Structure 1
Amino acid sequence: MLNKVHHVTYVVENVDDMAAYIERNFSLTPIRSDEFTERGFKSILYQIGDTLVDFFQPLRDDTPTARQLRETGPGVMHVAWGVDGIGQLFNDLQANGNDMRGDGPSASPFGYLTASIEPASSHGIYFQLAEGEHS
């Protein structure tokens, strides 16, 4: 069922500062930089082995990213677990009594599918599941 760590998302004050830090200290450059104004964040994306690592900078104060940054400071926003058959898994998780976000898997702005379990169903832990690769 869970087959890898698909991606890890961090929330930071400034993605440009983070990109400079990572390049200076780890000699890595982002494979992609984006600004998702409709979703309220700017991002940089790295491919590290089989795992994607992205950093989000809030662009507005009314987003979940901004709220997390205000409440807890910079850090891990979530870890997404890689799966196969995300549509069936979504249905199976609902059948097992989990409250899921949305009516089914949704497309991420990076091109892969995601599904999320509401933390109230999973002992307060936010589980995101992901299938596919970035585009």
Structure 2
Amino acid sequence: MPLKELDHVVLLVRDIEQGVETWTRLGLSLSHRVNNPDNGVAVAFFIQPDGTFLELVAPTRDDSPYAQMLREHGEGLRLLSFKVDDLDQAVVDLEAKGVKLRGVGTERVFIEPVSASGILVQLWPRDRPHRWRENLAPRT
């Protein structure tokens, strides 16, 4: 089986402050925030005890690709990311089953929504670190 376990979930929100308030009110603890001006987004992370995390993403400018996604699709689930033991083998296995993929040959491989009930699914190698979770990028 290529998909092993959930790694993280990305939700697209209009307002990062409102999103953080919503998810803390629901009982999650904010771990940290990151501003990414290059992509025009503010991001908030809610890391869970098992290592999975919820990632809220909000555009910070109108020309951000995320602002365009909001205009087209509204708020909500943007991405599910699942751990895989071996990215290359997962690609082979999924393609053999007719699953439509994007990013094959790169380190960022996704299952197209047409092959996953309308959801974009990321394949995350189990041994790949998360730059935000492992303190490999500046936080704000």
Are the equivalent residues in 2 in contact too, given 1:41–1:58 (CA < 8 A)? yes
Q: Does the residue aligned with 1:22 lie in a helix, a strand or coil?
A: helix
Give, in whole Å, the separation in 2 of the partners of 1:25 and 1:125.
Answer: 24
Identity of aligned residues (%): 30
Specify which structure has the higher proportion of strand: 1
Q: Does the residue aligned with 1:26 lie in a helix, a strand or coil?
A: coil
Using structure 1 for the length normalisation, give the TM-score: 0.73
Partner deviation per Cα, 1:84-124 (whole Å, 9 max, x = no partner): 11133224434555443234243xxxxxxx42023345564
Are the equivalent residues in 1 in contact too, given 2:78–2:119 (CA < 8 A)? no
Q: 1:63 to 1:116 in 2, by over 3 A?
A: farther
Partner in structure 2 of residue 110 of structure 1: none
Q: 1:90 to 1:27 in 2, by over 3 A?
A: closer
Using structure 2 for the length normalisation, give the TM-score: 0.71
Q: 1:104 to 1:29 in 2, by over 3 A?
A: same
Which deviates further from its counterpart, 52-61 or 64-73? 64-73
Query: Which letter maps to 2:103?
Result: G
Q: 1:133 to 1:46 in 2, by over 3 A?
A: farther
Root mean square deviation of aligned Cα: 2.6
Give, in whole Å, the separation in 1 of the partners of 2:63 and 2:109.
Answer: 22
Q: 1:25 to 1:125 in 2, by over 3 A?
A: closer
Partner deviation per Cα, 1:55-102 (whole Å, 9 max, x = no partner): 000123344422232233221111112211113322443455544323
Q: Does the residue aligned with 1:8 lie in a helix, a strand or coil?
A: strand
Give, in whole Å, the separation in 1 of the partners of 2:98 and 2:24.
Answer: 44
Are the equivalent residues in 2 in contact too, given 1:68–1:77 (CA < 8 A)? no
Stretches of structure 1 that go unaligned for 5 or more consecutive residues are 107-113
Is 2:122 the counterpart of 1:128?
Answer: yes
Q: 1:76 to 1:120 in 2, by over 3 A?
A: closer
Query: Which letter maps to 1:3?
Result: K
Query: Which letter maps to 1:5?
Result: L
Q: 1:93 to 1:68 in 2, by over 3 A?
A: same
Stretches of structure 2 that go unaligned for 5 or more consecutive residues are 135-140
Partner in structure 2 of residue 33 of structure 1: 33
